[in-house]
Amino acid sequence: MINTQASPDKPEDRTKPLCSVLVVDDEKDFVQTLIKRLHRRGVACEGVFTGEEAVEKIKERKFDIVLLDMKLPGMDGNNTLIEIKKIRADTQVIILTGHASANEGLEGMKNGAIDYLMKPVEFESLFEKLQKAVNKMNGS
């Protein structure tokens, strides 16, 4: 598990994080890099590497958004998504995978995901999706 709370370098920038994100992907380098980049944008992040770890984290605390890979060891992404939505129905889930077909993306959307992106994804596109999810949560 990787845990990084948002804490921008400049003291005057230390404000409430944009949102809290749980990154779920079995590619450890990808998770670490993504968390660092999100952290720099003021996002509080944690990362886990399996669906089972994600479900345990969701039971422990609320995350605004989950970035979820579909191909995971053990519990796959769709089953993880279903479990996340059972525990915290208001959590926004974005499927982020290098393995998704249009059918997997649609299946994820049926199970409660708000969007899906294919890896490799441009960071700016991903960050834009996060901002849209935050706006949706805030009713804007």
- The per-residue pLDDT for range 19-43, each reduced to its tens digit, is 999 999 999 999 999 999 999 999 9
- Tokens in use for 65? 């958004």
**Which residues are CB-neighbours of 39 under 8 A, at least 6 positions away?**
4, 6, 7, 45
Instruction: Spell out the domains of the chain, with CATH numbers in brackets.
Output: 2-137 (3.40.50.2300)
pTM, 2 dp: 0.86
Express as a percent the part of the chain with pLDDT over 90: 65
> Are residues 78 and 107 in contact, defined by beta-carbon separation less than 8 angstroms?
yes
Which residues pair with residue 136 across a beta bridge?
A: none
